[in-house]
């Protein structure tokens, strides 16, 4: 029975029954007790700061208020980060996630893409000129690449930057309606500068797409400059806090020094100097793709916290007539929907940790002049970005559905998380397109394998003997699970390659053969990413040092991740009889056992993510489980309840009850 004060008794029982110390697991997730302490300190700074609590809740704000309030919050965050000397990205990330949870920043693109692009693509002189202005917000900028007509195919962008050697200027133009920049975050109303991706023309030749710094608004009045038409694109599925914008450029002249020239250059006379690798200009996209993995993991983790705590508190339906109603977490169907997502949130967190480290290591090499790992970084970041945003967005929606009716209310906090995470499937490269980039890399690797060339370590599984059968026994060993994923990926890569080969042999061109095989190529890329994430999870639990009880519980969760993925995608695993029917039964049985094994630790697993209530902003996911009182308070706080009788009653309902409809004819 739930009490109305203190911690809900069901939730308290759950916490008593867990088999491991939650603090130990938090220490493992966040890489040590010192880091947990630091994260809590940063969360506390934000959640205890009265500034962030003075605004009405996000769900009760109009679009204009969402923008304005979020802008104030992020400008304040910016000021506090400086005062507190928070310079590390991880510190800023934790402080921000607590200060403005899932509220996409009106100066976010400035921080996440504008400044990093100057840092990575600018010359020393350009960095010296722009970075201090950008840091002090005198320049507020965005990354303006996507156009109304082209987002994916960036070589097809239509904006032009034509070099005029007489004045040593570039002239920027949006020659068609489809060439107008459309979607860049913060562009509509906030920014006064843009990094514009445009086709470079010099000495009568097109040299491909390059980045140019363009001032779009007056620094004093904030009015658009001559030749600039700019504005907000209007309401969207979410992202109400963000003024995604449009931009039309008409004969806008900028000095030659405004082309980002660290790698490619245009000399004064108009001579073009090529970069060492044309794709180096895509580096800012790679950075954000890498960051999206952690961002998506965090969204799913928070959704699991809400949904699993609520499932422990919520009771529905007497199991035997007249008996006690069961906690909904005890229904096997609820466990089957939620626990694999819990496992996925851990898998994605570890993938995010890996991605961040790999990004830092590889970009350091690139900056040192060694570009060898660029293709790997591109393939891994594109694949993990797509895989994590797909899995986590779908997972958040399932968590919402698992909360029944209350999941549909903003009081649950789940819709806000969903609309914040789901555009990650589209921005920074639409997911299907990203998976095809992965497939392109896989086909290259397959070619190397055929030629007997060496493969990078993470691709060596491709040389597996595809006639081999699974080693799976009743024990369901982790290594047999990894082998299954790698077998499936290797076979799908081979099948996709064979499909292309067959089409070529039938007279199709390589491009036609590629287009005729993209579904199989996408299957192969997804299978590869699934294998990659599973292996990473397994290696994390097997090789890392941690408390033995935590390790045992985490091993069950990892096994669930792997077994569930096989059972849900069985076709791909049995197509070549890799598993026989006896082994399939073993896996199905193991899946049910694992659900039962994880059940006593479900709440502890979500508690270990250590998200304070102020971050979750959910009546259902509260640490104390007092969900009903919270729902009642939430309903009472709705602006719709400020008056007992709304004006609309007198204006519309009352007259209608009296058969009077004249007010409509006035319209
Ligand atoms: C434990 C907790 C730790 C916490 C730590 C956290 C720290 C992190 C802090 C930060 C957190 C912040 C959270 C972030 C949340 C996110 C908020 C984001 C807000 C929204 C931002 C949205 C911005 C945008 O959307 S910008 C626009 C993005 N646009 C795209 O992505 C366009 C997609 N299209 C493309 O990329 C290309 O067109 C592509 C790749 C599809 C094709 O390119 P192209 O036409 O040039 O290709 P081809 O000529 O066909 O050549 C292909 C060839 O090129 C290679 N290649 C392509 N790209 C790259 C690359 N980037 N690098 C290297 N190589 C590349 C490709 O592999 C091919 O090679 P081949 O050898 O020829 O095969
Ligand atoms: C919230 C949000 C914020 C954004 N912020 C920014 C920003 O700050 N700066 C910026 O420049 N842009 C931004 N964008 C734009 C974003 O990067 C693009 O929308 C994205 O890259 C997808 O491109 P697209 O819209 O042209 O989709 P399209 O390419 O038109 O995709 C439509 C469909 O066609 C398919 N498709 C397209 N090409 C291929 C192909 N080659 N093979 C197979 N299928 C294909 C896709 O899979 C998809 O299903 C933002 C978008 C959103 C939603």
pLDDT in tens, 380-411: 999 999 999 999 999 999 999 999 999 999 99
Per-residue pLDDT at 554 exceeds 90: yes
Residue of 427, 428, 434, 526 to test ligand 2 pocket, by largest number of atoms within 8 Å of CB: 427
Tens-digit pLDDT profile for residues 145-198: 999 999 999 999 999 999 999 999 999 999 999 999 999 999 999 999 999 999
- In this structure, the number of other CB atoms found within 10 A of the CB of residue 125 comes to 10
Q: Tell me how far the alpha carbon of residue 384 lies from the centroid of ligand 1, in angstroms.
A: 11
Residues 186, 187, 191, 194: is their CA dihedral positive or negative?
positive
Show which residues are catalytic: 428
Q: Is 438 helix (H, G, I), strand (E, B) or coil?
A: helix
Domains and CATH numbers, the chain: 138-275 (2.40.110.10)
167 annotated as belonging to a binding site for a ligand: no
**pTM of the predicted structure, to 2 decimals:** 0.97
How far, in Å, CA of 112 to CA of 142, rounded? 9
Question: Long-range contacts made by residues 111-117, C-beta under 8 angstroms, separation at least 24?
Answer: 112/287, 112/288, 112/291, 113/142, 113/143, 113/195, 113/284, 113/287, 113/288, 114/140, 114/141, 114/142, 114/143, 114/193, 114/195, 115/141, 116/284, 116/287, 117/143, 117/195, 117/211, 117/260, 117/283, 117/284
Q: Which residues surround ligand 2 with Cβ inside 6 Å?
A: 109, 142-146, 150-152, 183-185, 239, 244, 423, 426-430, 432-433, 436
- In this structure, the number of other CB atoms found within 10 A of the CB of residue 190 comes to 25
- In this structure, the number of other CB atoms found within 10 A of the CB of residue 72 comes to 16
Atom of ligand 1 nearest to the CA of 112: 12
Tens-digit pLDDT profile for residues 42-89: 999 999 999 999 999 999 999 999 999 999 999 999 999 999 999 999
- Over residues 538-548, the mean pLDDT reads 95
pLDDT range class, residue 321, cuts 50, 70, 90: confident
Residue of 429, 441, 515, 518 to test ligand 1 pocket, by largest number of atoms within 8 Å of CB: 429
How far, in Å, CA of 454 to CA of 295, rounded? 34
Tens-digit pLDDT profile for residues 621-631: 999 999 999 99
151 annotated as belonging to a binding site for a ligand: no
Q: Tell me how far the alpha carbon of residue 145 lies from the centroid of ligand 1, in angstroms.
A: 12
Helices (H), 599-661: 602-607, 613-616, 627-636, 647-648, 654-657
Tens-digit pLDDT profile for residues 276-295: 888 999 999 999 999 999 99
Nearest to residue 102, comparing CAs of 349, 393, 341, 354?
393
């Amino acid at each position: 029975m739930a009490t109305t004060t203190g911690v809900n008794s069901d939730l308290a029982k759950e916490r008593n029954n867990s088999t491991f110390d939650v603090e130990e697991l938090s220490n493992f997730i966040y890489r040590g007790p010192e880091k947990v302490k630091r994260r809590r300190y940063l969360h506390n700074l934000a959640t205890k700061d009265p500034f962030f609590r003075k605004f009405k809740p996000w769900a009760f704000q109009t679009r204009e208020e969402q923008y304005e309030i979020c802008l104030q919050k992020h400008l304040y965050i910016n000021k506090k980060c400086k005062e507190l000397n928070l310079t590390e990205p991880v510190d800023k990330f934790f402080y921000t996630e607590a200060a403005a949870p899932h509220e996409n920043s009106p100066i976010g693109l400035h921080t996440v893409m504008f400044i990093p692009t100057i840092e990575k693509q600018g010359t020393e002189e350009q960095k010296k000129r722009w970075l201090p202005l950008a840091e002090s917000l005198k320049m507020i900028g965005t990354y303006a690449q996507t156009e109304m007509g082209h987002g994916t195919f960036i070589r097809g962008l239509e904006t032009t930057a034509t070099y005029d050697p007489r004045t040593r200027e570039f002239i920027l133009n949006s020659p068609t309606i489809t060439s107008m920049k459309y979607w860049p975050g913060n562009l509509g109303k906030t920014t006064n500068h843009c990094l514009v991706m445009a086709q470079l023309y010099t000495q009568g030749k097109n040299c491909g797409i390059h980045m140019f710094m363009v001032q779009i608004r007056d620094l004093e009045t904030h009015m658009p400059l001559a030749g600039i038409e700019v504005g907000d694109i209007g309401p969207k599925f979410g992202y109400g806090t963000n003024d995604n914008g449009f931009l039309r450029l008409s004969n806008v002249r900028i000095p030659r020094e405004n082309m980002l020239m660290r790698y490619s250059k245009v000399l004064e006379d108009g001579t073009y100097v090529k970069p060492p690798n044309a794709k180096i200009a895509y580096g800012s996209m790679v950075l954000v793709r890498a960051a999206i993995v952690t961002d998506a993991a965090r969204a799913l983790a928070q959704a699991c916290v809400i949904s699993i705590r609520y499932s422990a508190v919520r009771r529905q339906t007497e199991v035997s007539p007249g008996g006690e109603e069961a906690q909904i977490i005890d229904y096997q169907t609820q466990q089957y929907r939620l626990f694999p997502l819990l496992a996925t949130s851990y898998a994605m967190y570890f993938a995010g940790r890996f991605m961040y480290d790999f990004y830092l290591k590889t970009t350091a090499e690139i900056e040192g002049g060694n570009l060898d790992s660029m293709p790997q970084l591109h393939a891994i970041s594109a694949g993990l970005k797509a895989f994590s945003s797909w899995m986590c967005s779908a997972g958040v929606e399932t968590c919402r559905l698992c909360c029944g009716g209350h999941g549909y209310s903003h009081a649950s906090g789940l819709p806000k998380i969903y609309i914040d995470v789901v555009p990650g499937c589209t921005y920074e490269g639409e997911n299907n397109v990203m998976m095809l980039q992965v497939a392109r890399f896989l086909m290259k690797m397959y070619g190397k394998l055929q030629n007997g060339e060496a493969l990078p370590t993470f691709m060596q599984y491709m040389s597996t003997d595809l006639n081999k059968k699974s080693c799976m026994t009743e024990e369901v060993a982790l290594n047999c699970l990894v082998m299954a994923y790698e077998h499936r990926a290797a076979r799908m890569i081979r099948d996709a390659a064979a499909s292309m080969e067959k089409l070529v042999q039938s007279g199709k061109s390589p491009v036609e053969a590629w287009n005729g095989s993209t579904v199989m190529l996408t299957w192969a890329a997804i299978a590869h990413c699934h294998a990659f994430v599973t292996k990473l999870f397994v290696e994390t639990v097997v090789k890392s040092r941690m408390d033995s009880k935590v390790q045992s519980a985490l091993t069950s969760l990892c096994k669930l991740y792997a077994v569930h993925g096989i059972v849900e995608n069985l076709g791909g695993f049995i197509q070549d009889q890799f598993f026989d029917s006896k082994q399939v039964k073993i896996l199905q049985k193991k899946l049910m056992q694992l659900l039962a094994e994880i059940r006593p630790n479900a709440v502890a697993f979500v508690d270990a993510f250590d998200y304070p209530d102020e971050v979750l902003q959910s009546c259902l996911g509260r640490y104390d489980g007092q969900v009903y009182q919270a729902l009642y308070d939430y309903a009472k706080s709705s602006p719709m309840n400020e008056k007992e009788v709304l004006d609309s009653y007198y204006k519309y309902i009352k007259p209608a009850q009296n058969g009077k409809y004249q007010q409509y004819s006035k319209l």
